[in-house]
Amino acid sequence: MGKWKKTAGLIGAMLVAASMVMAGCGSKDTGKKETAAKSPAAAKEELIVGTEPSFAPFEFPDGKDGKIIGFDIDLINAIGKKMGYKKITIKSMGFDALIPAINSGNIDAAIAGMSITDARKKQVNFSDPYYDSGLMAIVRKDNDTIHSLADLKGKKIGVQLGTTGAMEAEKIEGAKVTNFDTSDLACIELQNGNVDAVISDLPVLQYFLKQKGSSYAKAVGEPKKGDHYGIAVAKDKKDVLDGINKAMKELKDSGEYQKIYDKWFSESK
């Protein structure tokens, strides 16, 4: 009898627990709908944002604890907060995995120094541009034959997979292009002498040269300007996109955007 009582008690407890879980989900859902009806800017739970964290100073691991920091991270945190999200979660993945993750619903948005391009615009929506960028080439310091992009014909070029730098390299006649998972890896291969040049984003290579890269690398030729970074969002999440644009405008108007910009791009950096 005692055993039966125990089992019955256990089943009872399980039923109570299950109904609590169900009630929890239910009340959470209703709660969300109610707040949404009252005010669209009211507290939302979580904004999940994808990035590829080897792109300093936009997104990269902090030397101390490996936490992802950078201009993009500060910007999206400020945007998410303005939009009323309680929590902003950063998810790391390969650069070429970001757009598929947006479209499968794994992430709500991506901020990754991602250039707004016509090809990408077919797959996702972009926020208003938040940073003007461009492309640049670097070679080893001791290289005295490559002086411009034109000199890269037939050379070995390292790039990051799925980026505008990779597309640019593919256009160069006879170039042997090697795709790496990150720009950092492409730079290491330049140091090792396995590639003659790296093509990547202007602000990222400039930061790299300032930080440590100038010990073995130098910039060549004129940068190719005219690129703009945008935050990518799924085509069917118009509300998220509108919220991002509205928050970004407010941050620009209030001077908060400028503060974040200065933190990462001041002369002393």
Q: Give the binding site for ligand GLN (CB under 6 A).
A: 52, 55, 95, 112-115, 160, 163-164, 183, 201
**Nearer of residues 184 and 250 to ligand GLN, judged by Cβ:** 184
**d(C-alpha 62, C-alpha 46), whole Å:** 23
Q: How far is the CB of 166 from ligand GLN (least distance, A)?
A: 7
Q: Are strands 109-110 and 232-233 parallel, antiparallel or unpaired?
A: antiparallel
Q: Please identify the residue of the shown chain whose CB is closest to the bound ligand GLN.
A: 163
Of the candidates 128, 64, 66, 119, which has an alpha carbon nearest to the alpha carbon of residue 96? 119
Q: Are strands 176-180 and 44-51 parallel, antiparallel or unpaired?
A: unpaired
**Nearer of residues 54 and 85 to ligand GLN, judged by Cβ:** 54
Whole-number Cα distances in Å, 56 to 32, 113, 200: 37, 10, 12
**Nearer of residues 181 and 256 to ligand GLN, judged by Cβ:** 181
**Nearer of residues 83 and 109 to ligand GLN, judged by Cβ:** 109
**d(C-alpha 94, C-alpha 89), whole Å:** 17
Q: How far is the CB of 229 from ligand GLN (least distance, A)?
A: 6
